[in-house]
Amino acid sequence: MTIEHGTYGKNFGILLIFITAFLWSFLGVFDKFISVNGILVSGITSLLALPVLGLSDQGKRFEVSGRILLAAVTYAITTITFYTANKLTSVTNVIILQYCSPVFVLLFKAFSSRYQIRKREIVSVLICVLGLVVFFYDRISTGEVFGNLLALISGIMFGATFFLNAGRKANPAASMALGYLICALFAIINTFVEFLRSATMPAFTIQDIWLLCITGFIIVGVSTILYTKGIQLTGALTANLVAMSEVFMAPLWSVLFFKDHIKGLSLVGILLMISGTIMESRYEPR
């Protein structure tokens, strides 16, 4: 049995996605210590991640098709709307709305190939979304309407990215590479527009530089390699649900770095998300 087939291969894929989520969970903490705006952070770290992806076997199989280009666009929109929404509404609202993405994975599956959604899938997604809401229950706010709308768009595009990168004709390494290029281009355009408005360029501190390097080369770059391999070994829905583990890992770093507290209700939410993920990952075919 090769690693690409059977239960062992699928479990290995789940492990890779989980480690990916582990790395993603540090992005918020690192972003707190970087002084430049989020869009510029996204563009710089995307550029730094490209050579890391190119060093992997996945990065060498670079080809472009309609599906790959669409996956690249959805990933870029996910990233751009996520960072923009964080400036307009609460981080809690953004996380909740973005990680409703498994719902959209199911919808994309249903509409794209007349896929019959199973009751188990619906129950798994509802349990995970309920766990997400319970986890952040006491931190939910109304926020700004436009910011919440952008966060919802980010969630839809996040689900689309998982769906497009999990198909047989998908090439997640190519789509992620193109998505990084789009993010970098958007950051350049945004920086140029800001320069025209204020006649000033972003100022980087020494701390900014080394944090950006760690984020780009290690957190984003390495996680991309793990993601591109893991998404090929798991189903789109399972991968998305496993990625939700980022939601309860990130607050742990906040407890360590910023002395935040996790309440009992949050632990209930964590258990619900884990239960829903296990239910789906146990039965979804690769």
89 vs 248: CA distance, rounded Å: 20
pLDDT at 59: 47
pLDDT tens across 112-169, in order?
A: 766 667 777 778 778 877 877 776 666 555 556 787 788 889 888 998 999 999 877 8
pLDDT tens across 193-222, in order?
A: 989 988 888 889 999 999 999 999 999 999
DSSP states of 102-149 as a string?
Answer: HHHHHHHHHHHH-----HHHHHHHHHHHHHHHHHTGGG-----HHHHH
Running DSSP on this structure, what letter comes out for residue 19?
H
129 vs 147: CA distance, rounded Å: 20
CB-CB contact of 284 with 240 (8 Å): no
Measure the N-to-C terminal CA separation of the chain; round to a whole number of Å: 14
Q: Tell me the pTM.
A: 0.80
pLDDT at 58: 52
CB-CB contact of 222 with 6 (8 Å): no
Higher-pLDDT residue of 75, 138: 75
pLDDT at 72: 95
For residue 82, pLDDT beyond 50: yes
pLDDT at 62: 62
Assigned token pair, 60: 């060498």
Q: What mean pLDDT comes out for the span 230-257? A: 78
Q: Could you tell me the pLDDT band of residue 286, with boundaries at 50, 70 and 90? A: very low
pLDDT tens across 93-110, in order?
A: 677 777 778 888 878 877
For residue 56, pLDDT beyond 90: no
Determine which of 89-93, 168-172, 186-190 has the lowest per-residue pLDDT on average: 89-93
DSSP H stretches of helix in 199-261: 206-213, 221-233, 236-243, 245-258
